[in-house]
């Protein structure tokens, strides 16, 4: 059998044994996502909200938060009807600003910003990259916490938040409240947000700071509080299917519309498996899921959920933008995961935590990585670099042939493998 693996902007062809020896995990065919509507319907018949147009009037100033280049959300599709409705409500283009939720990521090029929102929107609407290290952020207070945020999200009229909902390996799900925290937060507050994933009273990560978990997730709870403090008037979140098309749009109340989108993602993208595999071959699904290693690591996290301890993982992640962090590799000089965690607890770093999570997995699994990263960097992370795409595909095919149980995940950035509850204990052996 032949399976297509997304790799940057390319497609790789992997030969696999037939089922049941080898299983390929894909998203559940969804048709029309439950609760998900086309853009116009979502704006005019929103979830727990007045219709979009009725929320705005002449004289309003509006900030629209949009994800950066690492997170495609379909903004080029839903922003034109949003602008039309704002204009028809008396809000002119000059009263609207697009604020890119870069978080702690690098600034974007003009071409990247244009590709996110589309030519017409980029030409019409002033857009600004969030800079986490800007000194001009504004302090907001919520229940039992506070954070400094971009002043365009706090002080400038009405706020619309947008994004794509998908699994997030720490915050449970991306999208929703993450447009604000950490999307437009200061560097120190983004760092504090990510630190919430760590156990307070013992080593390791909180059991609630995991992909697919919202309830009791310390990071998600904190982000909700900060989002509510700035009181966005409307949320537009898409669910993106593998291949980059919008599977559904969820719009309206920033809490309930987001939660409905999370339910749809969980139903579409959680895949039950009978047992853990000896060999897993995965790709992120192409760009932007593998734009850099920091983003590709999420696929690393999800795909090892299908793999036995000591098993082999073959991961195809282009990483054309490199690691995505200047200080990431330096963390591996600390040694084994335990040493990295000791250092991390002394001085927490967002990318340092990703380094710890990477080190834990590369210590537990034999990981073969096909990427554009320097081979010495791959080895420093505890992985085995592939010499070429051909050698990677050949070795992965042979490993699947000889394995007792193999799994292929061609769109690993979208899929969360979960062992069926009745088989959970036996699958570990």
Indicate whether 280 pLDDT > 90: yes
**Average pLDDT, integer, range 262-284:** 96
User: Is the peptide bond preceding residue 221 cis, with omega within 30 degrees of 0?
Assistant: no
In angstroms, rounded to a whole number, what is the distance separating the alpha carbons of residues 294 and 165? 18
Indicate whether 427 pLDDT > 90: no
Reported as a single tens digit per residue, the pLDDT across 203-222 is: 999 999 999 999 999 999 99
| Percentage of the residues of the chain whose pLDDT score is greater than 90 | 85
CB atoms within 10 A of CB 233: 18
Distances in whole angstroms, Cα of residue 68 to Cα of each of 117, 183, 363:
10, 9, 32
Measured between alpha carbons, how far apart are the two ends of the chain, in Å? 28
Q: How confident is the model at residue 70 (pLDDT cuts 50, 70, 90)?
A: confident
Reported as a single tens digit per residue, the pLDDT across 24-50 is: 999 876 555 555 568 999 999 999 999
Q: How confident is the model at residue 422 (pLDDT cuts 50, 70, 90)?
A: low
**Average pLDDT, integer, range 262-290:** 95
Indicate whether 52 pLDDT > 70: yes
**Average pLDDT, integer, range 93-112:** 95
Helices (H), 215-292: 218-230, 256-269
Spatial CA neighbour of 303 closest among 405, 416, 212? 416
In angstroms, rounded to a whole number, what is the distance separating the alpha carbons of residues 137 and 149? 5
| Count of CA atoms in the C-beta half-sphere (13 A) of 122 | 16
In angstroms, rounded to a whole number, what is the distance separating the alpha carbons of residues 293 and 191? 19
CB atoms within 10 A of CB 80: 16
φ, ψ for residue 59 (rounded to 5)? Answer: 95, -15
Q: How confident is the model at residue 429 (pLDDT cuts 50, 70, 90)?
A: very low
Indicate whether 67 pLDDT > 70: yes
pLDDT at 244: 83
**Average pLDDT, integer, range 131-149:** 93
Q: What is residue 405's three-state secondary structure?
A: coil
Reported as a single tens digit per residue, the pLDDT across 80-98 is: 999 999 999 999 999 999 9
Q: How confident is the model at residue 20 (pLDDT cuts 50, 70, 90)?
A: confident
Spatial CA neighbour of 316 closest among 284, 345, 362? 284
| Count of CA atoms in the C-beta half-sphere (13 A) of 202 | 3
pLDDT at 426: 47
In the chain, the domains with their CATH numbers are: 2-27+274-428 (3.90.226.30), 39-267 (3.40.50.11440)
**Average pLDDT, integer, range 396-424:** 91
Reported as a single tens digit per residue, the pLDDT across 163-188 is: 999 999 999 999 999 999 999 999 99
Torsion of CA 116, 121, 127, 129, to 10 degrees: 0
Report residue 225 as tokens.
Answer: 């509080």
For the chain, the average pLDDT equals 94
User: Is the peptide bond preceding residue 238 cis, with omega within 30 degrees of 0?
Assistant: no
Question: pTM above 0.85?
Answer: yes
Reported as a single tens digit per residue, the pLDDT across 368-398 is: 999 999 999 999 999 999 999 999 999 999 9
In angstroms, rounded to a whole number, what is the distance separating the alpha carbons of residues 358 and 378? 11
């Amino acid at each position: 059998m032949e399976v297509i693996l997304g790799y940057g902007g390319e497609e790789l062809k992997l030969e696999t044994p037939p089922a049941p020896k080898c299983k390929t995990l894909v998203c559940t065919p969804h048709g029309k996502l439950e609760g998900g509507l086309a853009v116009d319907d979502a704006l005019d018949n929103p979830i727990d909200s007045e219709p979009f147009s009725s929320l705005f009037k002449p004289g309003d100033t509006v900030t629209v938060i949009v994800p950066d280049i690492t997170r495609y959300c379909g903004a080029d599709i839903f922003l034109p009807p949003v602008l039309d409705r704002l204009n028809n409500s008396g809000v002119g283009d000059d009263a609207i600003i697009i604020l890119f939720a870069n978080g702690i990521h690098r600034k974007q090029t003009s071409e990247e910003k244009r590709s996110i929102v589309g030519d017409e929107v980029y030409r019409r609407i002033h857009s600004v990259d969030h800079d986490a290290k800007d000194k001009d952020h504004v302090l907001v207070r919520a229940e039992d916490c506070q954070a400094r945020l971009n002043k365009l999200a706090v002080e400038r009229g009405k706020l619309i938040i947008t994004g794509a909902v998908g699994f997030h390996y720490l915050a449970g799900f991306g999208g929703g409240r993450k447009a604000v925290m950490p999307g437009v937060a200061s560097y120190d507050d983004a760092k504090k947000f990510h630190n919430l994933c760590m156990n307070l009273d013992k080593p390791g990560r909180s059991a609630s700071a995991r992909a697919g978990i919202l309830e009791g997730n310390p990071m998600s709870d904190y982000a909700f509080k900060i989002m509510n403090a700035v009181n966005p008037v409307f949320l537009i979140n898409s669910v993106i299917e593998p291949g980059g098309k919008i599977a559904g749009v969820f719009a309206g109340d920033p809490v309930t519309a987001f939660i409905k989108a999370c339910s749809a993602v969980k139903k579409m993208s959680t895949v039950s498996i009978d047992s853990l595999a000896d060999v897993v071959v995965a790709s992120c699904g192409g760009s932007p899921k593998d734009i850099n290693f920091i983003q590709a690591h999420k696929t690393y996290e999800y795909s090892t959920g299908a793999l036995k301890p000591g098993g082999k993982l073959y991961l195809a992640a282009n990483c054309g933008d490199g690691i995505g962090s200047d200080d990431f590799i330096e963390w591996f000089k600390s040694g084994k995961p335990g040493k990295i965690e000791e250092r991390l607890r002394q001085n927490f770093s967002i990318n340092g935590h990703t380094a710890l999570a990477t080190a834990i997995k590369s210590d537990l699994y034999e990981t073969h990585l096909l990427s554009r990263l320097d081979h010495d960097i791959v080895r420093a992370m505890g992985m085995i670099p592939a010499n070429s795409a051909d050698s990677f595909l050949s070795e992965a095919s042979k490993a699947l042939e000889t394995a007792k149980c193999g799994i292929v995940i061609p769109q690993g950035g979208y899929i969360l493998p979960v062992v069926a509850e009745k088989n959970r204990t036996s699958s570990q052996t």
